[in-house]
Structure formats: structure tokens, C-alpha cells
């Protein structure tokens, strides 16, 4: 008998109870347990109906992703679903938590489905670079109609139990999943209700037979939103087979398509990203017994762009915030921007209409740093100068309660120096949010020399609670993300001197899958920020400085590396910039050359990988996958390429090391020589992934 699936009897109803924490994923043991118990219950003449239910926090959340790429073990999920579907007795799925992927597909083989009102139902395979591989593309359209089905499958977004009820995916919303399902089963038996066998029910397909545009539109929308990804298009095509391909033949095509996608590098990258995100939240080097400190109230210092965005993130999660500014005017402006942001989102239907007022009610605006006294976590988001940071931390050290965690949102300043001005360096760390902080998911948690383990876990736990993706990094200039970005920026500037133009470099980077190239990004952030920083440090950057001296700060002045039409953010190549680059190169006696796209791509990506290797050597990041999580969630690295270190393993570290050596000599730039760790792994024929162990 299976130890993850048990058979219970409730009068003449058999309950197949799955208990395989944490999410009842369909491992081989779970599949075997369900198959054997359903078969046994169906053969038992005393059993009149069968319920499939789960213990723990959720119904089956899908196939066991850890089994992908390993030799398949029987029974396959499709075999289990067929066993259910072919039962002569009613089989009812009792849904709670999230019925996702193979979990929802299993319920579609059942004759009826009931769910508790908080349940969510979805087919998120596309987010793993896959398509539903156990009949979902053919049964879901027969349950809810092709229009909703293609949207659910191409986007991977779940629907609520009430939407499921409205669209015929479930029969009833019940109080407790198992008890509700048993009661429903008895009703079905008493009423002798005919079994709903989806594979034989084409009634909901008729409407779509006339209007095939729902598939072409879904595919076009997916292609627009997910440039370069294979799975969304495959999903739309598979659902369209419901219109003209017999069910059994369509299942075979679905399986072939699934096997093709699961072997594709894109899906391997997306599955890697799924687990890497969760791995990053597991802090290394802290005692097992360490627990995070409780956080009931948060204080945020600074109601500017970053402080306001951070405050919104906490309020979005229902956590009360004391938002502190130096004066009423600044506070009023910051609160106004937050209110406007929420109202715009509500107007678009992104949040309920009453959400802006509810969330504003969680924000308590105050003037004066003494207002931090009740906070369990204090996050400083003031100007990026060390002097101001030290002033603020000295003040909060005087007012904060014992045990409060003191975090700086600095994007590169030394947290050790900030901690040193307090009497409690063990409570000080960095929480580096990315702008706009209410949207971007990444939060670099900066571990300073004296940061206490429980303070660190507190920051990681609260970041996850506000739906951020935390990654723990060490103290260095730029931590991980911006330090690697700086390595890329150095090359992008050099490429202009050597012969490339901003639009060529940016086109290569966006074609690779990043949302924006380095020059358009500079125009968005404002070229004057870097210009002031270089002046502070006595550094020249001929072309960027020339642009700023000409008042070309980027989007904010209507021109930077590009020009912009009034009210538009679309970058337009500007002949004036080409002239400025030409003249600057002539003045410096530089001869420019034609540079190919491949060289540009390698000079954009490989130096970042090289910096990532140095970051690992210096233990600024503890896993290559943490570096990838930072780039996936902080900079929009395309999820289907896994992250810079995952991509490096795909290209091959020897190839990367050789190309870096070549460019180091060609451009006389020793910083491009392969980092010792990269060279060692390349020489040994190893991968960054091999460091995981």
C-alpha cells in the first residue's frame, strides 16, 4: 500500500486521500497510489462513488517538476487520468488551495469537481516553458469553452473558484473540501446524475468552430508579451486542435509537443528559474535553529520615489507603515503619488475599487525620526550619500526599539560603514529594492560583517511576505546586480569609441531578450546621475560627459543618447549623437571600425558572467543561481534563458573564457581576462551549476 495515498470509507463513498507534502505534487508514488486506490474502489461493489482529496495546504499542485528529465516511471499521469475517466462510478475531485497543472488535469478526468471558495484552478505549465501534457489542452476547452481555456493555458494564470463555477469548470463551491465532496457524491448517487465525461462532450466547442480568431489572437498576444518564447505559441496551437482533431489523436499530438518542449533549453531555463527563486530564500551559513524576528509594523524613512514604492509594497501585503519625511510638504507629495498610483491601478481593474482607500489607511505619515520607535523593521530610503545615511542611522539608533531591524535601501554604499555609526551593528543590513519598488520583485538583502543571523532571516522572510524575491548578497560596490551591470556599461561605452552606435548595441541586447539596451536605460534613468557621480569621483567619460554638457540628460530633457518626441518614451536615433561620437573619436585620435552583432552580444554578456565569477570567488553571492535570480527579477533577464550563469553553462565556459581572452587582447583591456574561477572551471570542463553542490 502507498504511504502517500490512503483509502478512506465514508459510508458508500470511497475517499482517495493524497498526503505528500509540501504541495501533493504528482510524484511516481502519488500517481501509483491514486491509480491503485481508484481501481480498487471502482471494483468494490459496496462503493457507489469515489472522491479524490488531499491533506495539507493544497490539492495537487501539478506534476513533480523534480522528476522532469529523469526516466519516466509508470503509471504515467495520462494513464492515471484515463483510469479515473473510465470508472463506471462517479469520481469527484475535492479541490482546495491551488489545483494546478497536472493536478487540475487530474480533476478534468474526474466526472465532477467541487472546490472551497478560496481555491484557485489553473494550468501554469507555460510558465515552465511547457504546455499541459496530460490532456489539459483538450479537456479544459470542453469544460469551460475554448475562449477561456486558451487564455488560461497561454497565460498560465489561475482562476478563482467562483469564476470556475460560473464557467462550468466546477459543479459546486463547498465548505470543507473532503466533507463537501462526500456530500456532493451522495447527492450525485441519489439523483443517479449522468457522469460528465469531458472527452465525450463537444457541446462547448461549437461556438469556437466558427470563430478561430480566438486562437490566432491568443497566439499574437502571447508572442507580443513573451518575445522569443516557444511555449505560449505551442499552447495556443494545441488548444486549437479541439476544433478539428479527434480527441485521442489530439492527445497524441499534445504528448509529442510536450516531450519536445520539456527537452528544450527554454523549459530547462524556466524550471531552473522556478527552483532558483526558492533556493535563494534559503539563507546559507546561519544556524538551523535561527528564527526570523516578528515584524508587525514597519517604518520607512523617505517618501520619495523609492520610499513611496517600498511603502506601497508593504501596504499591498496589509502591513501597516509609518512613513517618515523631513517636512509636511514632502510627506503630502509622497502620499499623493502613492494614492494616485493605487487609483490608476484600480481604474485599470488591477486591484479592487476599494483597495486604494484601504491601503492608504495603512500608511501613517509622520515628520521626525523619533516616529520610528514602534517599528520592528525600519527601512531608510533617503539620498544616496554616505553622510546623509550616517546622519539618519545615528538618529534612528537613538529612537528605535531594541531588536528592531535597521535596513538601508542603498544601491551600492558600504553597509559596514553605515552600521558602524550605530550601537547595534548586529541589527543593520541592506534591503536594496529596485525601482519602481512597488513593481520590481527583486530585493537584494545585503549581509554586513556584523549582521546577526536572525536579523538576516527577518529581512528575507518579510521580503517574501511582501511578494518580493529576496537574494542575500555581501558588501561590495554595487553588491551583485549593479556590479555586473557596471562591467557591461564599461563595454557599451567602449563599443561607441570602437565603432558601434547606441541603437546597434541596444538592438542586440533587446533581441537577446532584455527589455532595454544600456543606452535607452541610461536615457530612462537620467544621464546626469552618472555625470554627477563621475564628477564627484574625478572620472571622465568623454561621450557621456559631452552629452550632459550639451544638456542631453535623456528622457527628462527630451534627448540623450536618443531623441524623444514630446510625450513619447520611444527612443529615436539622433544624427546629432552620431556626429558627437564621430567628433569625440576624431579628437581622441581613435579610428572607428564596423562591429558585428555577435561581438556586441559577447561584449555585453560575457564580461557580466566574468564579474559573476569574481563575485562567487569573493563570496559576495553564495550560489550561481542567486546571481541568476538577481538578473531575472531585478533587470528583466529573459526567463527562458535562465540567467547569466545558466546561460554561461549553455554556451560553455571554455568558449566564454576563450572569447574573453581574445577581447582582452583585441581591446587591450586586462579586466576582460577570464576570472580565476571561470578559467579553472573552463579548464576542468565544468559548469557553474557544478558549484551548487
Q: Measured from the CB atom, is 22 or 575 closer to ligand T1G?
A: 22
Measured from the CB of residue 232, what is the shortest distance to ligand T1G in angstroms?
Answer: 15
Which three three-digit cell numbers place residue 562? 536618443
- Which lies closer to ligand T1G via its Cβ, residue 65 or residue 601? 65
DSSP 8-state code for residue 264: S
Closer Cβ to ligand T1G, 306 or 469, answer by number = 469
Contact partners, residue 410, CB within 8 Å, separation at least 6:
384, 389, 418, 430, 432
The CA distance from 677 to 659, in Å, is 16
**At closest approach, how far in Å is the CB of 125 from ligand T1G?**
5
Residue 321: enclosing H or E segment and its boundaries?
strand 321-325
Residue 578 gets the label, from left (phi > 0), alpha (psi -120 to 50) or beta, of: alpha
Shortest separation between residue 445's beta carbon and ligand T1G, angstroms: 17
Residue 85 annotated to the active site = no
Question: Scanning residues 522 to 551, which ones bind ligand T1G (CB under 6 A)?
Answer: none
Assess 77 for contact with ligand T1G (CB under 6 A): yes
Distances in Å between the Cα of 635 and the Cα atoms of 415, 467, 508 are: 22, 17, 16
Task: Rank residues 226 and 414 by Cβ distance to ligand T1G and give the closer one.
Answer: 226
Q: Scanning residues 310 to 349, which ones bind ligand T1G (CB under 6 A)?
A: none
Helices (H), strands (E): how many in the chain? 29, 19
- Closest approach, Cβ 421 to ligand T1G, in A, equals 37
Task: Name the residue nearer to ligand T1G (CB basis): 35 or 184.
Answer: 35
Query: Minimum CB separation from ligand T1G for residue 625, in Å?
Result: 12
Asked if 23 interacts with ligand T1G (CB under 6 A), we say: yes
Give the total of residues touching ligand T1G (CB under 6 A): 26
Task: Tell how far CA 357 is from the center of its chain.
Answer: 28
172, β-bridge pairs: 114
Residue 598 CB contacts under 8 Å (≥ 6 apart), including other chains: none
Which H/E stretch holds residue 340?
helix 328-347
Residues ≥6 apart with Cβ < 8 Å to 22: 56, 57
Tell which one of 43, 66, 74, 263 touches ligand T1G (CB under 6 A): 66
In the complex, minimum distance from the CB of residue 66 to ligand T1G, in angstroms, rounded to a whole number: 5
- Residues 96-155 binding ligand T1G (CB under 6 A) are 98, 100-102, 105, 124-125, 128, 130, 132-134, 136
> 237 or 545: whose CB is closer to ligand T1G?
237
Site for ligand T1G in 236-275 (CB under 6 A): 275
Of the residues 85, 125, 277, 380, only one is catalytic, namely 125
**Catalytic pick among 105, 147, 444, 611:** 105
Instruction: Reply yes or no on whether 105 is catalytic.
Output: yes
Would you put residue 167 in left (φ > 0), alpha (ψ -120 to 50) or beta?
alpha
State the nearest-atom distance from the C-beta of 627 to ligand T1G, in Å: 19
- Near ligand T1G in 503-522, by CB under 6 A: none
CA distance 30 to 37: 11
CA atoms within 13 A of residue 286's CA, in its CB half-sphere = 20
Give the x/- contact pattern for ligand T1G in 270-309, rule: CB under 6 A: -----x--x-------------------------------
Nearer to ligand T1G, 58 or 610 (CB): 58
Q: In what order do the strands lie in the sheet with 442-446?
A: 363-367, 321-325, 298-301, 377-380, 405-408, 428-433, 442-446, 469-473
Say whether residue 626 binds ligand T1G (CB under 6 A). Answer: no
As measured in angstroms, the least distance from the Cβ of 287 to ligand T1G is: 19
What is the rounded CA–CA span in Å between residue 131 and residue 306? 38
In this complex, which beta carbon is closest to ligand T1G, that of residue 101 or of residue 517?
101
> How far apart are alpha carbons 252 and 331 in whole angstroms?
61
| Cα–Cα dist 425/533, whole Å | 28
Number of residues in the chain: 693
Closest CA relative to residue 687, chosen from 658, 649, 655 = 649
User: DSSP characters for 178-219?
Assistant: HHHHHHHHHHHHHHTPPP--GGG--TTTHHHHH-THHHHHHH
> In this complex, which beta carbon is closest to ligand T1G, that of residue 38 or of residue 100?
100
Shortest distance in whole angstroms from residue 209 CB to ligand T1G: 25
Extended beta strands in 410-451, E state: 428-433, 442-446
Interface with ligand T1G (CB under 6 A): 22-23, 25, 58, 61-66, 77, 98, 100-102, 105, 124-125, 128, 130, 132-134, 136, 275, 278
Catalytic annotation, residues: 105, 125
Amino acid at each position: 500500500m502507498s504511504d502517500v495515498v490512503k483509502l478512506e470509507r465514508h459510508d458508500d463513498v470511497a475517499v482517495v486521500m493524497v498526503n505528500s507534502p509540501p504541495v501533493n505534487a504528482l510524484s511516481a508514488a502519488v500517481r501509483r497510489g491514486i491509480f491503485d486506490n481508484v481501481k480498487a474502489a471502482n471494483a468494490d461493489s459496496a462503493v457507489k462513488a469515489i472522491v479524490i482529496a488531499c491533506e495539507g495546504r493544497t490539492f495537487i499542485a501539478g506534476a513533480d517538476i523534480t522528476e522532469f528529465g529523469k526516466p519516466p516511471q509508470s503509471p504515467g499521469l495520462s494513464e492515471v487520468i484515463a483510469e479515473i475517466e473510465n470508472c463506471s462510478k462517479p469520481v469527484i475531485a475535492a479541490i482546495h488551495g491551488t489545483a494546478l497543472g497536472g493536478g487540475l488535469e487530474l480533476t478534468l478526468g474526474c466526472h465532477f469537481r467541487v472546490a472551497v471558495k478560496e481555491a484557485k484552478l489553473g494550468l501554469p505549465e507555460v510558465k515552465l516553458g511547457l504546455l499541459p501534457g496530460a490532456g489539459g489542452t483538450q479537456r479544459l476547452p470542453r469544460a469551460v469553452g475554448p475562449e477561456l481555456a486558451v487564455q488560461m493555458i497561454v497565460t498560465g494564470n489561475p482562476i478563482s473558484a467562483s469564476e470556475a463555477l460560473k464557467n462550468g469548470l466546477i459543479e459546486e463551491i463547498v465548505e470543507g473540501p473532503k466533507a463537501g465532496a462526500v456530500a456532493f457524491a451522495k447527492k450525485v448517487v441519489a439523483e443517479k446524475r449522468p457522469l460528465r465525461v469531458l472527452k465525450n462532450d463537444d457541446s462547448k466547442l461549437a461556438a469556437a468552430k466558427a470563430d478561430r480568431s480566438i486562437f490566432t489572437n491568443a497566439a499574437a498576444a502571447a508572442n507580443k508579451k513573451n518575445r522569443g518564447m516557444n511555449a505560449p505559441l505551442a499552447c495556443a496551437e494545441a488548444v486549437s486542435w479541439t476544433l478539428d482533431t479527434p480527441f485521442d489523436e489530439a492527445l497524441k499530438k499534445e504528448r509529442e509537443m510536450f516531450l519536445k518542449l520539456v527537452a528544450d533549453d527554454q523549459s530547462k531555463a524556466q524550471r531552473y528559474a522556478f527552483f532558483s527563486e526558492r533556493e535563494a530564500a534559503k539563507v546559507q551559513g546561519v544556524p538551523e535553529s535561527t528564527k526570523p524576528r516578528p515584524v508587525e509594523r514597519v517604518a520607512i524613512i523617505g517618501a520619495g520615489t523609492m520610499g513611496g514604492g517600498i511603502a506601497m509594497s508593504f501596504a499591498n501585503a496589509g502591513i501597516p507603515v509609518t512613513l517618515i519625511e523631513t517636512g509636511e510638504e514632502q510627506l503630502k507629495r509622497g502620499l499623493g503619488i502613492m494614492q494616485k498610483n493605487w487609483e490608476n491601478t484600480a481604474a485599470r481593474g488591477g486591484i479592487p475599487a476599494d483597495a486604494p482607500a484601504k491601503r492608504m489607511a495603512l500608511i501613517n505619515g509622520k515628520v521626525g525620526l523619533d516616529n520610528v520607535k514602534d517599528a520592528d523593521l525600519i527601512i531608510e530610503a533617503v539620498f544616496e550619500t554616505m553622510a546623509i545615511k550616517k546622519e539618519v542611522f545615528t538618529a534612528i539608533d537613538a529612537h528605535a526599539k531594541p531588536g528592531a531591524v535597521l535596513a538601508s535601501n542603498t544601491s551600492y554604499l558600504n553597509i559596514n560603514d553605515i552600521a558602524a555609526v550605530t550601537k547595534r551593528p548586529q541589527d543593520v543590513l541592506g534591503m536594496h529594492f529596485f525601482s519602481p519598488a512597488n513593481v520590481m520583485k527583486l530585493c537584494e538583502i545585503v549581509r554586513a560583517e556584523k549582521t546577526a543571523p536572525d536579523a538576516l532571516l527577518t529581512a528575507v522572510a518579510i521580503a517574501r511576505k511582501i511578494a518580493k524575491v529576496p537574494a542575500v548578497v555581501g558588501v561590495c560596490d554595487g553588491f551583485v546586480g549593479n556590479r555586473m551591470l557596471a562591467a557591461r556599461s564599461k563595454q557599451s561605452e567602449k563599443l561607441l569609441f570602437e565603432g558601434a552606435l547606441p541603437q546597434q548595441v541596444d538592438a542586440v541586447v533587446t533581441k537577446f531578450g532584455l527589455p532595454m539596451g544600456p543606452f535607452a536605460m541610461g536615457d530612462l534613468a537620467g544621464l546626469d546621475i552618472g555625470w554627477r557621480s563621475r564628477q564627484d569621483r574625478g572620472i571622465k567619460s568623454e561621450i557621456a560627459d559631452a552629452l550632459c554638457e550639451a544638456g542631453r540628460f535623456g528622457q527628462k530633457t527630451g534627448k540623450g543618447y536618443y531623441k524623444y518626441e514630446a510625450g513619447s518614451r520611444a527612443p529615436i536615433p539622433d544624427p546629432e549623437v552620431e556626429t558627437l561620437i564621430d567628433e569625440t573619436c576624431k579628437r581622441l585620435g581613435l579610428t572607428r571600425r564596423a562591429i558585428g552583432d555577435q561581438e556586441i552580444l559577447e561584449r555585453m554578456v560575457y564580461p557580466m558572467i566574468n564579474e559573476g565569477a569574481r563575485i562567487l570567488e569573493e563570496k559576495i553571492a553564495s550560489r550561481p543561481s542567486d546571481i541568476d535570480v538577481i538578473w531575472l527579477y531585478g533587470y528583466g533577464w529573459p526567463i527562458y534563458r535562465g540567467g547569466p550563469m545558466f546561460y554561461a553553462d549553455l554556451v560553455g565556459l571554455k568558449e566564454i573564457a576563450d572569447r574573453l581572452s581574445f577581447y582582452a587582447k583585441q581591446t587591450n583591456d586586462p579586466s576582460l581576462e577570464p576570472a580565476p574561477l571561470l578559467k579553472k572551471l573552463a579548464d576542468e570542463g565544468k559548469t557553474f551549476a557544478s558549484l551548487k553542490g
